[in-house]
Amino acid sequence: MQASAQKRRITSKQRFGLLLIAPSFLIILGLMVYPLVYSLGISFFNLHITAPWLGTTFVGIKNYLSVITDPDMHSALWHTLFMAAVGIGLGIPISLFFALILNRKFPLRGLVRGILIIPWVIPGSVQGLLWSRIFDSHYGALNGILIQFGLIKEPITWLLDPHRALFLIAFASLWGAIPMMTLLYLAGLQSVPEELSDACQVDGGTRWGYFRYIVFPLLLPITLINLILRTIDAFTMFDLVYVLTGGGPAGATQVTGYYLYEAAFTKMNYGYASALAWLIAVTVTLLAIFYSRFTRTEGTAS
């Protein structure tokens, strides 16, 4: 009898708990799940609201094939992969270096950590406005500094050169992302037991050996998170490109996030844009799986 009463009491608590989370679940269902399902559905239709006389017709995977064979999309994808490569290739070692420094004890360490986080908390559109002032060819701070030091004789149009503009946007994005990556690494470093360092010293190990064979393998989960976050940022980048170049010059800085915006809100081709969004989501998911297996292999090898 006591077991039966206790079981009924647990069941009633579970029902009460489900009742409490029901409103949140319904909100999530309405704001996230339904739009996802709806966008997947319209990706199989020709939904072009600038041509309403065409109607809404079922086209199957035609939108997906159009995205895959679109030369402009190929160009945007290469630009995005370049952004991701810069963010990963430079962001991870730089943020890890900063984290190693900030993990040491030195005067005003708390103040330095607080200053470090400032670029990350600035909204992307504000970051774009800040960098537009720095790179401006007429009154930009970068040209002013270089001219004062005698490194250049006349202002440089930084954002009008295709190759230069793409790298500058990648650099600006990296500037805003490094603080978050550094904080993640710093949290990982502070979770490494100090006993491991003492044991390594007792065994005659070097600092590099301690970092290579003990610290770095323990930081692989943090590295995986940073890899995924930088890839997502590269594929969804919009605000910096919109403010700095608008995808120019001549489409040289058009990335997948900005291309998606143009397909949906400039060309009003929602079927094509939905297919593009889902292909981006699938690509990022596959890259995340690859990163996960790569870091797992590195951890096993270490």
> Rounded to an integer, what distance in angstroms lies between the CA atom of residue 90 and that of residue 88?
6
Q: How many domains does the chain have?
A: 1
Residue 48 falls within a domain, yes or no? no
Q: Which domain holds residue 286?
A: 62-301
Residue 91 falls within a domain, yes or no? yes
Note the pLDDT of residue 74: 92
Residue 11 falls within a domain, yes or no? no
Query: Residue 132 has which token pair?
Result: 């537009």
Note the pLDDT of residue 4: 57
Contact indicator for 73, 276 with CB cutoff of 8 Å: yes
Which residues are paired to 57 by β-bridges? 46
Residue 49 CB partners (closer than 8 Å, separation 6+):
268, 270
> Rounded to an integer, what distance in angstroms lies between the CA atom of residue 141 and that of residue 135?
7
Residue 240 falls within a domain, yes or no? yes
What pTM was computed for the model? 0.85
Question: Helix and strand tally (H, E) in the chain?
Answer: 17, 2
Q: Smallest Cα–Cα separation from 214: which of 226, 202, 206, 224?
A: 206
CATH number of the domain that 242 lies in?
1.10.3720.10
Note the pLDDT of residue 116: 85
Residue 45 falls within a domain, yes or no? no
Successive 10-residue mean pLDDT values, the chain, 302 residues: 54 77 83 85 83 74 93 93 92 92 84 85 88 88 89 87 89 92 90 74 71 83 91 92 89 92 89 93 91 75 58
Residue 25 falls within a domain, yes or no? no
Residue 3 falls within a domain, yes or no? no
